[in-house]
Structure 1
Amino acid sequence: LFQQMDFMILQTITGAVVSKQLLTMCNGANVAYTKKAFEEVSGFAGISDIASGDDMLLMYKIAKQYPGKVYYIKSPGVIVSTAAEKTWTSFFNQRIRWASKANRYNDKRLLPVLLLVYLFNLLFPVLLVAGFFNTRYWWELLVLFLAKTLVEFPLFSSGSRFFGISGNPFLFLLFQPLHILYTVISGLFGQFGTYQWKGRKVK
């Protein structure tokens, strides 16, 4: 259920930013392009050496060839369902793999945004630990947590209605700490660690 809700939010964000022609996210399971466009940009040439991100890098190549012609199709008829990871280990490995492509993005405007999002999430465990030395930080942690939840809930609610997924606010609140945890871990290991993918270790 967590993976379903998490991926739904990612797709909702993707739709929002692509509709503004801010090409910050893409998912290979939900992308379509013409054979002509694929061949004009030489397909995956030059980006086939990476374990994750070829979908986004291909999108960048096509967007460069066809400026302003990349769209997000908001229609229930084109929603693609994919299988969830079966274990938490495979889930974390998947998210670490996704995070590993950050330094390959062509649009350098993304990097400050990604760094800001990561530092924001990192602030939660920092405040949690700091609270053992001064309880004032726990109150700041609570305020920050509530602010994050209130800001993100309208996005979650909108996405759940479109994708037909439970918009239970209690579950959304319950899953927030787990989302923060995996963001911090995947961001760190995605850039400085290793992960398992298709039976092999990737650095």
Structure 2
Amino acid sequence: MGVLAAVPPLLALVYGLWQAYNFYYWRRAAAVRYPATTERLTIAILVPFRNEAAHLPALVASLRQQDYPTDRYEIVLLDDHSTDGGAAGARELYPDIRIVRLQDHPDYHTDVAHKKAALRLGMDSTSAQLIVTTDADCRWPAGVLSELNRIAAAGYDVVLGPVGIAPVYDACSAFQALDVLGYQLFTAATAAAGTPALANGAHFAFRRTAFEGVGGYTGVDHLPSGDDVLLLHKFVAAGLRIACATSPAVQVTTKPEAGWRAMLLQRIRWAGKAGNYGSTALSVAQGLAFLTSLGILVGLLWGLFDSRFLWAAAVAWLFKGVADAVLLRSVSRHYGRGALMRWYALAQLIYPFYLVGVGTAALLGVKVAWKGRG
């Protein structure tokens, strides 16, 4: 039994070493700067949406304020069968905005991958060189397109952009903000290490030729989500050049899910595609984080009968907490979100339960409805 009690601390030690590896590459990624260029690629910003009438006007306003030549970029709103009026409010404010309705194009119909279908339709409706995707509830700083253009002009085929959660107004939104910051650090670290593993469709850019070269969503178009991560893994497999933008000035913000239940449903949906990942780095990261958290919880439970396990779980939890704190403090300060760390202790207490719960649901194949769809 004494040997078994050593398992949670050992798992936490391995986890800590893995986080040290990530920290090293995160610091490298955060220091990268891209050269100025006179080249101006044509850019299409694709916004797939469904029932986002309340959010679209503010998104379009932020996109229209980009410091990029207006004749070199376009905004394409992709209406995925909205029932709330769609983009009518945005069009009223911006009459020249382009709106493409998926329901008007039956050739793109799908029973599952609606967002991918909308994005395919959007790409087929533009000839832009650089495709940028975002979500309807996002807000964009003015310099994002210029930075994406700089990176692409430096020879990169794919750019992974930083995303943050805002506003933060309670424990749930703070938990999501810290969680997403952790994703951003891992995204940048794996890109710097040459093993890109994560992407976020709220801020994702790729050359049209790259998308066409890997066959688009073919092979992953049977899945309801994964228009970002699964596509990234196809890009990686094709040997394309991938960069991660880390400048605080180009962090796109997205709204938190409204409450714990909505957040858990979203995360379970994300986790449901894990079996289709083509990234060893991501599989190792998910497996190690899950096992470390599971070891802590099992140690706590067994500690009710044997105090050695209780102490082992406490040591493992403390070690994991310190490792995570170092990384999150660095990334939060980098993006000017250092105040989020006041929520860190609470988030760390919740996280093992959250991760084991979501991970177990994914392993059991739990399916959840999301935005009115299964």
TM-score (norm 1): 0.90
Task: Identify, as 1 or 2, the structure richer in helix.
Answer: 1
Within 5 Å, give how 1:115-194 maps onto structure 2.
115-167=287-339, 169-192=341-364, 193-194=366-367
1:147 deviation in Å?
Answer: 0.5
1:112 deviation in Å?
Answer: 4.1
Does structure 1 conserve the Cα–Cα contact (< 8 Å) formed by 2:187 and 2:197? yes
Task: Identify, as 1 or 2, the structure richer in strand.
Answer: 2
Are residues 108 and 16 of structure 1, via their aligned partners in 2, closer, same or farther at CA, if it must alter by over 3 Å?
Answer: closer
For 2:229, the aligned partner's letter is M
Does structure 2 conserve the Cα–Cα contact (< 8 Å) formed by 1:43 and 1:58? yes
Within 5 Å, give how 1:4-153 maps onto structure 2.
4-67=177-240, 69-108=241-280, 110-153=282-325
1:66 deviation in Å?
Answer: 3.9
What whole-Å deviation, never above 9, does each CA across 1:39-71 have from its counterpart, x for those lacking one? 22222222122122231121122233344x111
1:15 deviation in Å?
Answer: 0.8
Are residues 170 and 161 of structure 1, via their aligned partners in 2, closer, same or farther at CA, if it must alter by over 3 Å?
Answer: closer
1:24 deviation in Å?
Answer: 1.8
Are residues 167 and 20 of structure 1, via their aligned partners in 2, closer, same or farther at CA, if it must alter by over 3 Å?
Answer: farther
1:33 deviation in Å?
Answer: 0.7
Q: Quote the Cα distance in structure 1 between the aligned partners of 2:228 and 2:336.
A: 26
Q: Quote the Cα distance in structure 2 between the aligned partners of 1:163 and 1:78.
A: 10
Identity of aligned residues (%): 33
For 1:127, the aligned partner's letter is G
Are residues 61 and 169 of structure 1, via their aligned partners in 2, closer, same or farther at CA, if it must alter by over 3 Å?
Answer: closer
Does structure 1 conserve the Cα–Cα contact (< 8 Å) formed by 2:198 and 2:232? no
What whole-Å deviation, never above 9, does each CA across 1:44-102 have from its counterpart, x for those lacking one? 222122122231121122233344x1111111232111111002111001111111111
Q: Quote the Cα distance in structure 2 between the aligned partners of 1:47 and 1:96.
A: 18
SS for the counterpart of 2:242 is coil
Q: CA RMSD in A?
A: 1.8
State the structure with bigger RCO (CA 8 A, min sep 6), 1 or 2.
1
SS for the counterpart of 1:84 is coil
SS for the counterpart of 1:32 is strand
- Which 5+ residue runs of structure 2 have no aligned equivalent? 1-173
Are residues 170 and 139 of structure 1, via their aligned partners in 2, closer, same or farther at CA, if it must alter by over 3 Å?
Answer: farther
Does structure 2 conserve the Cα–Cα contact (< 8 Å) formed by 1:157 and 1:167? no
TM-score (norm 2): 0.51
Give the greater-gyration-radius structure (CA). 2
